[in-house]
A and B are shown apart, each in its own frame.
Chain A
Amino acid sequence: MIAFIIKRTFLMIPQLLLLSVLIFFLAKQMPGDAVTGAFMGKPNVSAEQMEKIRQQHGLNDPWIVQYGRWIGDAIRGDFGQSFVHKQPVTQLLAGRIENTIWLSLATLIVTYLLAIPLGLIAGRWTGGFADQLIVTYNYVSFATPVFVFALLMLYVFGFVLDWFPSGGSVDIRMEEGSMEYMGDKLKHLVLPVLSGSLLLTYSTVQYLRNEIIETKVKDFVKTARAKGVPENVVYNRHILRHSMLPIAAFLGYEITGLIAGSVFIETIFSYPGLGRLFIDSIMARDFTVVTALVLISGAAVIVGTMLSDIILRIVDPRIRLG
């Protein structure tokens, strides 16, 4: 198992390298560059001056040199300067990465906490009243666009009822590290997390429901019943364990989906995370930041896939030894 994890980790190196080359070229392909972006809307800077700045920043070097410089810096954690914010990209990312990780993690946990019981109920009592309700909920959440739902949540619970803060990640008056600070952070998470997970559950619920319907007619379930195992245990141990397999394996990929989803949620709730930074940076053509963010999310996808592989090995003994 340990050997596999090490092997699997090394496998990521070529993947990450390929990703970085790809991103580097895509970034180069974009119309305009950091310099045009930085002086956008400033007509008093002449083309010659711009060219001079390009020369200074090495933007006219051969691509391999530029790539080498860029990746070398990136590995050392230096993603260059943001032309818009006039500060190192790394500094810009620092707090935001943390925020996005909290948001994603909380969304993931809440999603599973909701989806697993719902999927289990729907799959166990197929066609029953609860199942019909759950299936309806699934259709609705599948059809509702994230931003519409998030705006609705924001309006109802943030403004009308004013139960939860409507933006930010923590009240600036809070003292960092205190209990209140943590509590306030959680309070700021409630709306974005609920908006994300209430809509995200449908795929997991639907998946689990189908898995359970398929699993409950399997021979080993008959064996369990023939042993006299109580019906609740038959479902919660034998059937659920088997049905959770593909879902557990999907966990890593789910993280990928969350990164994409965070763009909407963070923008709507003005939550200072990577997603919102991404949108803002694209709007401002802040390419160093955009490139760093694409690289980070690409790397997250690769790590997520690796996690999925490892989790699948842990939960499925048939793969473990294969």
Chain B
Amino acid sequence: MEDNLLTIHKLRTSFLIDGEFHRAVDGVSLTIHRNEVVAIVGESGCGKSALALSIMGLHPKERTRIEGSVEFQGQNLLQLSTAKLNQIRGKQLAMIFQDPMTALHPLLTVGRQIKEVMDVHLPLSTKEKKQRVLQLLEQVGIQTSAQVYQHYPHELSGGMRQRVLIAMALACDPVLLIADEPTTALDVTIQAQIMELMKELQQQSQAGILLITHDLGVVAEMADRVAVMYAGEIVELATVHELFHHPLHPYTRSLLHSLPSGQQQKLHVIDGMVPAIERLKRSGCRFAPRIPWISNELHEDDPVLREIAPGHYVRCTCHQHFYLPADRIGDETDAPFTAT
């Protein structure tokens, strides 16, 4: 398709742990269109960052094996040399990192760090670059741009640093922005401000965004489509509206039920956590161990991602039989619910 910005096809990322490769991302396929915000949600450790860094080519080469393809503007990013990739990174393809406290160089001034992106990509004079940095800083809501230009990162608050990182990512007007949990490390009030800013900037720039988060509230706010990831796989993919109104996969439903909302009495807590990649079983449904009240006969051996409605994909066939324990309380008909 013409307006495909990024096409990820069967991406598989494995890390060398104790002499063996283990998959952190396992067969992910996903497309992002121009001017589209695609969110990736999932718990900690499900492979979201591993996916983002694979796209950016930022994994350490010696310990990582990446298979599949990542098509960006007609080129497979996975096959590019570092030098070729460097012509794209920071220019058409930019990234905002999870932790603004550690993502900036502590010994270089903010201005210099933003300017460096232009040093690499834009044929501007030093004066023009500085001008543009100041302008970018103002664009991300930093009024005192001239002072902040001279500042070192430790002189700024977390929210300010994240603004700086956003300014840095926008320096060359990228067509695709990957934002890996841009607000997780920030205070709640600041989170809202930064998300607001991201939304505003997205509408101005028309850039595509791959937004990684585990905050479903943010997803509802920002995204057009959502991919739910579990243990390295996409388990459900749909438009935001579809996903929130007709969630199908048990994991999606568990996640949605863990959101506080008006009518709901009890919050569902998903017991356990995403298994470490070296302890992940490779056959059968990966989520089954965390929903033990669903009997074994109901599980599928090797669920594949199927299109259940136009644009709505689910990796699960037996979802009709799924229920959350909280839904069944007081419902005496059958109570196989023994989970803690």
A residues touching B (Cβ–Cβ < 8 Å)? 217-220, 222-231, 238, 241-242, 245, 315-318, 321
Contacts and interface: CB of A to CB of B under 8 A. Distances in A.
B172 to A, nearest CB: 9
Nearest to B104: A220
B116 interface: yes
A220 B58 CA distance: 12
B121 A228 contact: yes
A235 B154 CA distance: 22
A228 B174 CA distance: 12
B184 interface: no
A227 B154 contact: no
| CB-CB nearest 7 A-B residue pairs | A228-B90, A227-B90, A219-B102, A228-B89, A317-B152, A228-B86, A220-B105
B10 to A, nearest CB: 24
A195 B206 CA distance: 64
B163 interface: no
A230 B103 contact: no
A227 B104 CA distance: 12
B151 to A, nearest CB: 9
B120 interface: yes
A159 to B, nearest CB: 48
Contacts of A321: 155
Given A219-B99, A242-B106, A318-B106, A227 B117 contact: yes
Contact of B102 (A218, A224, A238): A218
Contacts of A241: 105, 107-108
A317 B117 contact: no
A229 B106 CA distance: 17
A226 B177 CA distance: 11
Contacts, number: 78
A77 B106 CA distance: 45
B116 A217 contact: no
B167 to A, nearest CB: 12
Interface in B69-128: 82-83, 85-91, 94-95, 97, 99, 102-108, 116-117, 120-121
A229 B104 CA distance: 14
A282 B106 CA distance: 49
B106 A225 contact: no
Nearest to A244: B107
Contacts of A218: 102
A220 B102 contact: yes
30 contacts: A218-B102, A219-B97, A219-B103, A220-B103, A220-B105, A220-B106, A222-B58, A222-B97, A222-B103, A224-B105, A224-B116, A225-B56, A226-B90, A226-B94, A226-B97, A227-B90, A227-B116, A227-B117, A228-B87, A228-B89, A228-B91, A228-B120, A229-B90, A238-B105, A238-B108, A241-B108, A245-B107, A316-B107, A318-B106, A321-B155
